[in-house]
């Protein structure tokens, strides 16, 4: 709609004295708040103008979809280039073979038996032996009845999982840490006994 005709439509919708000075900004007159103050009836634009506005909205939607489609591949490549754990890209795998003696502390929650609920500590004990294959796979260096070990080392990242059978049920522990020389430290999670959920921290010297 030509600007002059739009101005006449707006003035007809809201014939307030001195209003002509405000028509340089038609948005003022079409604003519902303005109409409520001056008792005006909101100006109704011709269908062609409304259609043009809808087309503009559709154009923005299509532009956003196109941008999303183009950037999805870029973002995917960017995130793929970032290692999940920085220590995993630290060159050759650390040597963690030997006798592990784990110490640490944690908490058990949600146990079906209150006897196991609460804080606990690892004292090191007798430890257990770890063997390491060329591809970084970890396993027990000797068989221990009722006890199994599996894991992997990538760079200086170490992941180890142990399962132990006890009178109260199996205890599963997952150790996720970083090797520095002949020592590994990090976080532990797990389940059991009596359905406990386990979280904590650990460190282990490797002999």
The pLDDT value given to residue 96 = 95
The pLDDT value given to residue 102 = 93
3-state secondary structure at position 198? strand
The pLDDT value given to residue 18 = 47
**Does the structure show a pLDDT above 80 at 199?**
yes
- The candidate with the shortest Cα–Cα distance to 184, out of 160, 205, 199, 201, is 205
Exposure string of 78-91, with b = 16+ CB inside 10 Å and e = fewer, is eeeeeeeeebeebe
The pLDDT value given to residue 138 = 97
Name the pLDDT band for 195 (thresholds 50, 70, 90). very high
Provide the residue ranges of all domains of the chain, joining segments of one domain with +: 3-80, 89-206
The pLDDT value given to residue 70 = 54
3-state secondary structure at position 131? strand
The pLDDT value given to residue 19 = 45
Does domain 89-206 sit in CATH 2.40.160.30? yes
Residue-averaged pLDDT of the chain: 75
Rg value, the chain, Cα: 35
CA gap 187, 185 in Å, rounded: 7
- State the pTM of this model: 0.59
Rounded average pLDDT over 150-179: 94
143 token code pair:
């068989």
Strand-pairing partners, residue 103, are 123, 203
**Does the structure show a pLDDT above 90 at 152?**
yes
């Amino acid at each position: 709609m030509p600007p002059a005709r739009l101005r006449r439509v707006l003035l007809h919708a809201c014939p307030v004295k001195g209003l002509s000075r405000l028509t340089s900004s038609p948005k003022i007159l079409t604003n519902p708040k303005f109409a409520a103050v001056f008792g005006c009836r909101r100006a109704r634009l011709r269908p062609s103008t409304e259609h043009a506005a809808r087309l503009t909205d559709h154009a923005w939607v299509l532009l956003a979809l196109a941008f999303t489609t183009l950037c999805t591949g870029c973002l995917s490549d960017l995130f793929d280039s970032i290692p999940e754990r920085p220590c995993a890209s630290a060159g050759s795998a650390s040597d963690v073979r030997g006798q592990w003696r784990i110490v640490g502390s944690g908490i058990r929650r949600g146990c079906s038996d209150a006897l196991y609920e609460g804080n606990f500590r690892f004292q090191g004990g007798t430890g257990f032996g770890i063997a390491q294959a060329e591809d970084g796979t970890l396993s027990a260096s000797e068989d221990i009845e009722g006890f199994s070990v599996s894991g992997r080392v990538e760079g200086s990242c170490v992941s180890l999982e142990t399962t132990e059978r006890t009178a109260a049920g199996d205890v599963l522990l997952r150790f996720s840490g970083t090797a520095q020389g002949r020592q590994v430290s990090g976080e532990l999670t797990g389940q059991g006994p009596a359905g406990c959920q386990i979280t904590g921290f650990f460190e282990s010297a490797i002999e």
